[in-house]
Structure 1
Amino acid sequence: MLILTREDIKKVFSMKDAIEADKEALRIYSEGKSVVPLRVNIDIPKEQGQSLFMPAYVEGLDATGIKIVSVFPKNIEIGKPSVPAKMILLDGKTGEVSAIMDGTYLTQLRTGAVQGAATDILARKDAKIGVLFGTGGQAATQLEAMLCVRELEEVRVFDINIKRAKEFVEEMKINLAQYSTKIIAVENGNEAIKDADIITTVTTSRRPVFDGSLVKKGAHVNGVGAYTPEMQELDELIIKNSDKIYFDTMEGVLAEAGDFIIPMKKGIVSKDDFQGELGRVILEEIPGRENDQEITLFKTVGVAVLDVVTAYRIYKKAVENNIGSNIEI
């Protein structure tokens, strides 16, 4: 059994690798070649915590796995992470555990990468200006994914706390110095999006973070952060005004994402207004962007097949490069 830390993963697996793994996972899911049971949530009232178990099986890779994510707010008081996570990968042929890896970084990586996959497939090839809303734990990989798939001249970063935005930008200038992109903190998100080609939101906001009427023709929008029926990063105007709308999974988005549940309840949009899953674009079953004037929109809430496929590809690269610690139990 191979043990892989965050640093081990970074040694062998790039954002580009993760984007390709996520494209593979979306294709597999849309082909119906994976088994993804509903996640199991267990409340731990004594500690005001919760543990979530997210399994999936991918027959074509002979891989199965489960990501265990816990939310224990009181951990902060004892100097431990409040959202610890681990990914357990099993050999689909024998059922034996192949690897245990850092689930927090895996989640950040595959979540950034699924946005990167959508941006690569749907954004204009000549995109130059990006905007990122949010500077939390998922933001760094979201920014890297945008830079990985498009040669952006500038990315504007907005957070409700400008100090936090500026600190994030300074950190990213160091960590993403290999990209020749100007990264700046901005105080007005609506001003920032007016001429933007790519807009990515990764917040837990319960109200829209920008005015959808200001999004220019030809822009591509990614909704990444809002993942409950009450959260709504994207306003109803951008949902209504988008020419084409795609999801990581139709089932997941329409069950969990307030960005779509809220306007659907109001009768502003219906299922008929959505093109479908990004995996079907990869399979060439439905069209993606067809001209430079279309506003395209991608929404993700995550699905365990992304974790399993990404973990499998990480494991294979780690074995090839003799990275990680082998243990026997």
Structure 2
Amino acid sequence: MEMRVLKEKEMKHVFEMKEAIQADKDALALYSAEEVDIPLRINLDVPEEEGRSLYMPGYAAKAHALGVKIVSVYPKNIEKGLTSVPATMVLVDTETGQVCSIMDGTYLTQLRTGAVAGAATDLLARNDSSVFTLVGTGGQAETQLEAVLAVRPIRKVYVFDIDFERAEEFAETMTTLYGEKYGTTVEAVSDIEKAIKKSDVITSVTTSPVKTFESEWVKPGAHINGVGSFTPEMAEIDTAILQNAGKVYCDTRDALVESGNFTQPVEKGLFNLEDVTGELGDLINNETPGRETEEEITFFNTTGNAVLDIVTAQRIYEAAIKKDIGTTLKF
């Protein structure tokens, strides 16, 4: 058996953001067409270490993608100088059933999550969008930034974080990485209201239990991505945005019960899940409408799904094979 091991640096070398965005579009189109098999993830508690291990399997026949992402949550790892949320992607050859690749699951998660917001922005934001505000500068922030830059002619990026010094450091680093490449400027701001009012695209990627900005600050025609809410306790998006948006999209309807952006307003009787326009895959498959006016506000919420992991991982593996990148193990 031959297995290819791919590290973050190698994955970046063979696969660009625009390719990841297309991979996510293809994955969600297959999901919404019910052409994939994505079982519920398996959660195993490891109480002795105060840890948890999660297994996210999936199979997408038309994408020749089969595998499982293993994600662990071990808070005590910080004391050992290790990441508290290690992740590994195990890819399986659909023809033989043998493991064909092991790759960095942490970077894969960052890439496919940024890319899915990029896909939504590409499908829903105004074509002339030029100002972008990014709320939150954690581990997901860089790919969220590049994904939007990859699909719209953004000339100004405002970055906000509750820690202004961290926002400044992030803005400086992102300017070096993407300023010249995409012809944009990245600026840290302390006044989020002013930034939001100017923005054509807004992405909030935080685990905040309360809204990170007000609906009334959002200008007509803006597109909003809600990325950080993956538990019912997390609710970074103002409920009024869901109520006022002309289109409300999600990655998968089944996961809406996991996001506080939806569960909290539903419990309070302020929003009905039947008012969700559809899954992003429905829009890709021309089953639901996209933006219909220049003044319409659009909203997309993602909680993530294994189909994004397996399809993106398969595309990265194929690119690595073509360019002969990575470490090959034979046994």
Tell me the TM-score normalized by structure 2.
0.98
Alignment partners' CA distance in 2, 1:201 and 1:282: 23
Matched, 1:244 2:247: yes
Select the residue among 180, 187, 191 that pairs with 2:190: 187
Q: 1-side partners of 2:65 and 2:311: how far apart?
A: 8
SS of the aligned residue for 2:126 comes to: coil
* Residue ranges of structure 2 left out of the alignment (5+ in a row): none
Q: What letter corresponds to residue 32 of structure 1 in structure 2?
A: E
- Letter matched to residue 31 of structure 1: A
Aligned to 2:305: 303
Letter in 2 for 1:75: N
1:196 maps to what in 2?
199
Structure 1 residue 179: Cα displacement: 1.5
Shift of 1:328: 1.7
CA contact (8 A) 2:157 2:184 kept: yes
Q: Percent identity of the aligned residues?
A: 53
Contact 2:64/2:314 (<8 A) preserved: no
Return the offset for 1:180. 1.0
TM-superposed deviation, 1:269: 1.2
Aligned mates of 1:156, 1:113 — CA distance in 2:
19
User: Given the alignment, which residue of 31, 34, 51 partners 1:49?
Assistant: 51
Aligned amino acid, residue 196 of structure 1:
S
Contact 2:164 2:188 (8 Å CA) reproduced: yes
| Equivalent residue runs for 1:1-329 within 5 Å | 1-177=3-179, 178-253=181-256, 255-329=257-331
Give per-residue Cα distances to partners, 1:270-304, cap 9 Å, x unaligned: 12311010101101111111110110000000000
Question: Quick one: distance in 1 between partners of 2:158 and 2:258?
Answer: 28
When the two structures are superposed, what TM-score results if normalisation uses the length of structure 1?
Answer: 0.98
Distance 1:190 1:273 in 2: 28
Unaligned runs of 5+ in 1: none
CA distance in 2, matches of 1:306, 1:33: 13
CA distance in 1, matches of 2:277, 2:69: 29
Q: Tell me the number of residue pairs that the alignment of Structure 1 and Structure 2 aligns.
A: 328
Cα distance in structure 2, aligned partners of 1:93 and 1:25? 20
Distance 1:58 1:274 in 2: 25
Runs of 4+ deviating beyond 4 Å: none
Distance 1:8 1:66 in 2: 20
CA deviation after TM superposition for structure 1 residue 24, in Å: 0.4
